[in-house]
Amino acid sequence: MYRYAFDGKRWRQTDYVKSNRSRTGDVFGSALALSGDGRQLAVGARLEDGAGSWGLWGFSLGGAMQNSGAVHLYSRS
């Protein structure tokens, strides 16, 4: 995800955000939300694999939940 700012004459890239977990095909950046003050960013990766799967009553079934999706949160000071 690239962030740009307009300096009065042209747009300039100010930030580059990339997940260290997302892989090709995870659709990182498919959804974005920015707080009103511009300090918090939520980036969706709708096809990212989950860390694990859970059955009924919380029993682990093992393995990753394929294409379960994820949201990545970033803060800027």
Instruction: Report pLDDT for 23.
Output: 81
Please give the residue that has the higher pLDDT: either 64 or 20. 20
- For the stretch 15-44, pLDDT in tens is 888 887 778 888 888 899 999 998 899 999
Q: How many Cβ atoms sit within 10 Å of the Cβ of residue 19?
A: 16
Decide: 42 and 23 in contact? Cβ < 8 Å. no
Instruction: Please tell me the total number of residues recorded for the chain in this structure.
Output: 77
* Confidence band, pLDDT 50/70/90 cuts, at residue 58: low
What DSSP string runs through the chain?
A: -EEEEE-SSSEEEEEE---SS--TTS-EEEEEEE-TTS-EEEEEETTPPPS--B-GGG-B--S--TT--EEEEEE--
Instruction: Report pLDDT for 31.
Output: 92
